[in-house]
Amino acid sequence: MTRIDDTFARLRAEGRKAFVSYIMAGDPDLATSLEVMKGLPGAGVDIIELGMPFTDPMADGPTIQLAGQRALEGGQTLEKTLDMVREFRKDDATTPIVMMGYYNPIYSRGVSRFLDEAKQAGIDGLIIVDLPPEEDEELCIPAQAAGINFIRLATPTTDAKRLPKVLQNTSGFVYYVSITGITGAAAAQAADVAPEVARIKGATDLPVIVGFGITTPESAQAIAGVADGCVVGSAIVKLIGEGHAPAEVLARVSELAEGAHRA
């Protein structure tokens, strides 16, 4: 059982949906992003997705691309991202942290070294965009063995034939990508998402969380209503990019979280 499993068990018992929020580690600098991160649980965030900046984020739209660039220009490294988590864990032992990003920085560090450090730092799950089930031996299997959830993306192109393969080594939750496209692009429609979530839930007992294209408390409510929760990323990252102070960012996160929790 990871903190992720515990969190979903608690939410289920309370009859609540999960609100997951994404921020980029080190955006625009380490101190600011750590301040935002520390404020997320208080703003109603159930699970934190912490982005690891990468020079070539192929699945991300302009908002998250620019966040990654700001972080890298600010000197963010994987080591500093791990430090952020260690720092956060000093005051918060329960909020699950999922690291999200691309494989190369982890591969470069060395998979077993990274997993040791990630586990010790208090990371609960990984979402690695460019590791499909076909590459499970790389990181997914070792991560599970190390007690870290490997959360897989399912997408509108994941058909019935492929779905079992996608679910096979997934743990923690399933992240349903509500649109074909990049992060922060089109708006997700609950009516389109509902049957897809039902299709996935028909094939797994894991919670299904929906992300990509959720920008308002209303859409957070609508989408969370047809799933086990929702993820908001670009809409929060955009505020950070515009230079809003952490308190302002967290105020908006609260509104989004309330939206999701109304579902």
Partner 1 sequence: MAEDLINSFMTGPDENGRFGDFGGRFVSETLMPLILALEEEYERAKTDESFWAEMDDLWKHYVGRPSPLYFAERLTEYLGGAKVYLKRDELNHTGAHKINNVLGQILLARRMGKTRIIAETGAGQHGVATATVCARFGLKCVVYMGAHDVERQAPNVFRMKLLGAEVIPVTSGRGTLKDAMNDALRDWVTNVHDTFYCIGTVAGPHPYPAMVRDFQSIIGKEVREQIMEREGRLPDTIIAAIGGGSNAMGLFYPFLDDKDVRIIGVEAGGKGVDEKMQHCASLTGGRPGVLHGNRTYLLQDGDGQILEGYSISAGLDYPGIGPEHAWLHEIGRAEYVAITDVEALAAFQLCCQQEGIIPALEPSHALAHVVKIAPTLPADHLIVMNMCGRGDKDIFTVAKALNVDLTA
Is 49 an active-site residue?
yes
Alpha carbon of residue 170 to chain centroid:
14
Distance between CA atoms of residues 7 and 187, nearest Å? 27
Distance between CA atoms of residues 7 and 94, nearest Å? 8
Query: Residue 257 phi/psi, 5° resolution?
Result: -65, -40
Q: Which stretch binds partner 1 (CB under 8 A): 17-25, 33-41, 49-57, 224-232?
A: 49-57
Q: Closest Cα to residue 100, out of 192, 15, 183?
A: 183
Q: Is the dihedral of CA 155, 141, 229, 252 positive or negative?
A: negative
Is 29 an active-site residue?
no
Indicate whether 167 belongs to the interface with partner 1 (CB under 8 A). Answer: no
Indicate whether 177 belongs to the interface with partner 1 (CB under 8 A). Answer: yes
Task: Please list every residue from 72 through 101 that binds partner 1, using CB under 8 A.
Answer: 72, 77-79
Indicate whether 107 belongs to the interface with partner 1 (CB under 8 A). Answer: yes
> Which of 91, 159, 205, 242 contacts partner 1 by CB under 8 A?
159
Q: Are the beta carbons of 62 and 88 closer than 8 angstroms?
A: no
Indicate whether 238 belongs to the interface with partner 1 (CB under 8 A). Answer: no
Least distance to partner 1 from the beta carbon of 19, Å? 23
Indicate whether 32 belongs to the interface with partner 1 (CB under 8 A). Answer: no
Residue 218, CA distances (Å) to 16, 65, 169, 215, 221 in order: 16, 25, 33, 8, 5
Indicate whether 58 belongs to the interface with partner 1 (CB under 8 A). Answer: yes
Instruction: Point out which residues bind partner 1 (CB under 8 A).
Output: 54-59, 61-62, 65, 69, 72, 77-79, 102-109, 129-135, 152-159, 162, 166, 177, 180-182, 185
Catalytic residues: 49, 60
